Amino acid sequence: MRASSILRDTAQIVDDVRARGDAALAEWAARLDGQTPGSFVVSKQEIDRGWKDTPAGVKRAIRLAIRNVRAVAERQVPKPFTVRPVAGVRIEQRVHPLARVGCYVPGGRYPLPSTLIMTVVPARTAGVDDVIVACPKPSAVVLCAAREAGATTVLRIGGAQAIAAMAYGTRSIRRVDKIVGPGNAWVAAAKSLVANDCPIDFQAGPSEIVIYANTGDPEWIAADLVAQAEHDPDARAIFVTTHAALAARVTGALQAMTPASGPAAVALAQNGRVIVKDTAAEAIAAINDIAPEHLVIDRAADVPRFRAAGTIFVGRWSAQAAGDYTTGSNHVLPTAGAARFRGGLSAADFVRVFTVQTLTRRGIRTIGPAAAVLADAEGLAGHAASIRRRL
């Protein structure tokens, strides 16, 4: 479907939910997801049942992932400080968590407890008290992750209607201060439409991986490409090298590994590439132009040469798929070139940083004359007068 059609249809859903609240939400849930929930809010009993139904080994893996993501997130929260640029002037940086955030967890093709962990844990680590999860079809393992990660509410809604409900609120759903998390094209469009009224993290479109290597096991490289391609039929999986022989071996391994059907088969057919460049400089320049979501390289020495990537994996043992789950780094990452201007989701996305300014008599006398001169230079006589009255 064309992007313009998706945006038009999404705007209709968002406007309807904003205007009619729960009634519209129920109609769109029935129409698009085949759901007729008695309540949009998943009960504590159902969450507990999901936790109970999740195998012990999966619970252990969830707890490991939460522990590692929390360890990284704790270092990402901005720190308060006080600085005195001159005597009599004190500037404080204060850091306050947002009050309520909404975490979107896709639930269409696969259950994604990992995405719940990657959105809820940084929010809770940052100090957010009310963390709401929206998932169209929360499976037992997703509900288990919600309980373990500390989500306060789980909503059984998805798509553009879920984004609208969290952004504007309804009778049964309180509006949030920010919405984070990946989703399909309709979710991405809805996030764009509500962004002026409710902040979002960024657009997270179809997944991307670029592997740059001139050595290594071609089957491992091919396996990484296939793994990322299975996320979405529109995913991009690209291998770049300066060694034609390695490119040929990777191509052969890809042909042997690619499933006959499914998202990975479609993605590799449409957006899979094996690219041979003459020089390393040309290869790196091409990758910098792509600014991929995931970049895998074989040499740590090359890291400084890459200007834009959502995250970089270094070395043959650094399987990109591990980063989707248990390394501790966040897997909600910028796509479609957005890595040029920001990195992945972090605990810093869930706080507001502001300053408190205190001037004493000495302070205003020290910096006031220069401030008044600048106000005069800008032609703002009232600004200059308000300062000079204190001098």
Among the listed residues 293, 331, 378, 383, the single catalytic one is 293
AA letter at 33: D
Between CA 163 and CA 5 the distance in angstroms is 18
State the catalytic residue, choosing from 148, 208, 230, 294.
294
Measured from the Cβ of residue 306, the count of other Cβ atoms closer than 10 Å reads: 18
CA distance 75 to 65: 16
Residue 378 annotated among the catalytic residues of the structure? no
The reply to whether 230 belongs to the active site is: no
The set of catalytic residues is: 293-294
